[in-house]
Amino acid sequence: MFSLEGKIALITGGAHSIGFAIGVGLAKAGATVCFNCSNEASRQRGIEAYKNEGIDVHGYVADVTDEKAVRELVAKIRDEVGIIDILVNNAGIIKRIPMTDMSVEDFTKVIDVDLIAPFICSKAVIPGMIEKGHGKIINICSMMSELGRETVSAYAAAKGGLKMLTRNICSEFGGANIQCNGIGPGYIATNQTAPLRERQPDGSRHPFDQFIISKTPAGRWGTTDDLIGPAVFLASDASNFVNGHILYVDGGILAYIGKQP
């Protein structure tokens, strides 16, 4: 029931980091994987990265905030590969700026990529899923779908909105045998977070690293591989009666109040 043989998956921003790990996981479970990037150089790097894993993929350049471009992307995948069974709305950005210093333009950009784009992409694939009689949409949410933190007002607003978009897609299209769920990663060790995990000159942990470890019952950062199993589950028939759910993969942070000082 976890097999994805015969399924076609589109992963937005699937050339690196979390999107790439999920793409590899879905491919190894049997899916044919397509991904998009914002430019040709990223597309080529992504294809090469998948090739190094022994995976043939279909890479495309498309701006997920542009509805016309997304419609053309989905149509091209349909012509070249087939109708999309699985959509992973992974593409995202964050701008860490104090709210009172953040411009409306920066706030809007985060909302456009992290919330409007998943709406556009989901809207584009749902008709094909209805035609096939089934579909899986996985939105990459965040702990910031539940919690706030300094400097991430736009990101938290977008991810909170994405949580509710997930539930509404479930509500509106569950009767068409479409399951829409979210994955909420905790703090994941990636190249982007590497500076926050570097040892200090005296050998101690970076202060933010210390903070995260102290708040995580698992006692570590997550890895991109930690997200593969949840993604395969939500993409497969194993989750056919799971809908509108956010699966937090956070090492227990959201369950934990923290140690007494």
- Per 3-state DSSP, the chain is made up of helix, strand and coil in percentages (nearest 5) of 50, 15, 35
Alpha carbons within 13 A on the beta-carbon side of 212: 18
In the chain, the percentage of residues whose pLDDT exceeds 90 is 93
Confidence bin at 141 (pLDDT 50/70/90):
very high
What the block records as the tokens of 170 is 């479930």
DSSP string, 62-126: --TT-HHHHHHHHHHHHHHT---SEEEE---------GGG--HHHHHHHHIIIIIHHHHHHHHHH
- Can you tell me the distance from the alpha carbon of 55 to that of 29, in angstroms, rounded to the nearest whole number? 11
- Can you tell me the distance from the alpha carbon of 40 to that of 48, in angstroms, rounded to the nearest whole number? 12
This prediction has a pTM of 0.96
In the chain, the percentage of residues whose pLDDT exceeds 70 is 100
Residue pLDDT, tens place only, 182-228: 999 999 998 878 888 999 899 899 999 999 999 999 999 999 999 99
Contact 137, 11 (CB under 8 A): no
Q: Give the per-residue pLDDT at 260.
A: 77
Q: Give the per-residue pLDDT at 80.
A: 98
Q: What is the mean pLDDT of the chain?
A: 96
Answer whether residue 27 shows pLDDT above 80: yes
Answer whether residue 69 shows pLDDT above 80: yes
Task: Provide the angle, in degrees to the nearest 10, between the axes of the packed helices 228-235 and 17-28.
Answer: 60
Q: At 102, which amino acid appears? A: M
Q: Write out the catalytic residue numbers.
A: 155
Q: Give the per-residue pLDDT at 45.
A: 97
Q: Give the per-residue pLDDT at 259.
A: 83
- E strand spans, 115-188: 135-140, 178-185
Answer whether residue 261 shows pLDDT above 80: no
- Over residues 112-134, the mean pLDDT reads 98
